[in-house]
Amino acid sequence: MFNINEIRKDFPILSRTVNGKPLVYFDNAATSQTPQQVIDVIVDYYSNYNANIHRGVHSLSQEATDKYEQARHTIQKHFNAKHAHEIIFTSGTTHGINLVANGFSSILKAGDDILVSALEHHSNIVPWQMLCERTGANLKVIPMNQEGELVIPEFDALLSKNTKLVFVNHVSNALGTINPIEYIIKQAHLVGAAVLIDGAQSTPHIKPDVQALDVDFYVASAHKMCGPTGQGMLYGKESWLKKLPPYQGGGEMIAEVTFEKTTYAELPHKFEAGTPNICGGIAFGAAIDYMNTIGFDTIASYENELLVYATKQLQNIEGLTIYGTSKQKTSVISFNLDGIHPYDVGTILDKLGIAVRTGHHCAQPIMDFYSIPGTVRASFAFYNTKEEIDALITGIKKAKMMLS
Ligand code: C6P
């Protein structure tokens, strides 16, 4: 049974005040909060078995190695990857994307096409632009419409035998749109293109099955899923990960090193050079376990209730425009008040203890599409409440009164 009062007790930060007011945390799309269960795992690591992994014969090192590799298995199971070695630990979504983009430098040729969507975060644009500069490949953009949805017939028209790669986010961070990735993956595969899905904003709400999706690469960040910052994962099909060259050279990613030649370690270690964020990996596993005890269907349905409740009230505020009205949406609402800069609204809300994000949300092309400098973005998690949404609505009305 979903008991919001019990769930909120898991998050110590939710009982603090900000500017003398109870914290209302609506910046979950930027980073989620951490439950005590995950904080305990972090404290336990540093208190009891902090050691480097895969290197020591001593007990602490073996304990840390076992816990780290268990976390990899937890992530494998969660995403339903076929093999644990298809899960590469990264520092986050950005790292995972750059790892793949770098790998394709030696595979792409001048004149190849790569498709990216108009709804992407800069992390899923800039690495591909850099890849195009290195290889001479062309970056083509799947356009969006006013509702903030991808224009699928245009995607179909862009696909050709020249298309080698397609990159789309599962969910847009700025608008909350859930993209039809099943269709995109299927169609891309028909022309022989590989697909990378940016799951930074989907994984807090949806449990993706990478085998059912038949996706080639899927990336995510732990800090958006109740886990720590500086930790993420890249899923890659075994066949692709074997084909791609390592991203970084260093300790742990080698089989043998001489000055004449180095051979690389097997997966996943080939892509994990240097001492990783050991505690982060273990805590990521704990965060996934925590979210699964609540259940992703329960999370999605409760968050949708919050989304519908907030949307209805926001629509009643005169002069307020919501950007991103796709039928398939996660609990993200981007909006502006007529003639008022989003930064000013965010500052007043902060004075009331309400945390939202303002600005372009690292998705400038979306802002350009709507010809706006940015938006106010409220993003809800399963530990938020309708009462908090009421406080947001009151805050927005106050901001409107003060600023217009
Ligand atoms: N979006 C937001 O406020 P990192 O920073 O590597 O964990 O994630 C990057 C990233 C990539 N793709 C998408 C769709 C994202 O939303 C993000 C992070 C945050 O929207 C911080 S900019």
Is 362 marked active-site? yes
Count CB neighbours of 8 within 10 A: 15
CA of 279 to the centre of ligand 1 (A): 21
Distance CA 288, CA 79 (A): 10
Q: Which residues contact 222 (CB under 8 A, 6 or more apart)?
A: 92, 228, 229, 231, 232, 233, 280, 283, 284, 287
CATH number of 4-30+295-403: 3.90.1150.10
Q: What is the pTM of this model?
A: 0.98
Atom of ligand 1 nearest to the CA of 169: 14
Rounded Cα gap, residues 320 and 374, in angstroms: 14
What pLDDT, on a 0 to 100 scale, did the predictor assign at position 103?
Answer: 97
Domain with CATH 3.90.1150.10 in the chain: 4-30+295-403
182's tokens = 């099943």
Instruction: Give start-end residues of each CATH 3.40.640.10 domain in the chain.
Output: 39-293
Closest CA relative to residue 172, chosen from 144, 202, 146, 147: 202
Task: Catalytic residue, from 132, 226, 279, 362: name it.
Answer: 362
Long-range contacts made by residues 212-216, C-beta under 8 angstroms, separation at least 24?
212/80, 213/181, 213/182, 213/185, 214/185, 214/186, 214/189, 215/181, 215/185, 216/240
Q: Which atom of ligand 1 is nearest to the CA of 95?
A: 6
DSSP 85-122: GGEEEESSHHHHHHHHHHHGGGT--TT-EEEEETT--G
Topology of domain 39-293, CATH: Aspartate Aminotransferase; domain 2 (3.40.640)
Quick check: 32 and 380 in contact, CB under 8 A?
A: no
Q: Of the candidates 337, 312, 311, which has an alpha carbon nearest to the alpha carbon of residue 324?
A: 311
pLDDT in tens, the chain (404 residues): 899 999 999 999 999 999 999 999 999 999 999 999 999 999 999 999 999 999 889 999 999 999 999 999 999 999 999 999 999 999 999 999 999 999 999 999 999 999 999 999 999 999 999 999 999 999 999 999 999 999 999 999 999 999 999 999 999 999 999 999 999 999 999 999 999 999 999 999 999 999 999 999 999 999 999 999 999 999 999 999 999 999 999 999 999 999 999 999 999 999 999 999 999 999 999 999 999 999 999 999 999 999 999 999 999 999 999 999 999 999 999 999 999 999 999 999 999 999 999 999 999 999 999 999 999 999 999 999 999 999 999 999 999 999 99
Residues with CB under 6 Å of ligand 1 are 29-30, 92-94, 121, 123-124, 169, 173, 198, 200-201, 221, 357, 361-362
**What pLDDT is attached to residue 5?**
98
Ligand 1 centroid – CA 229 distance (Å): 11
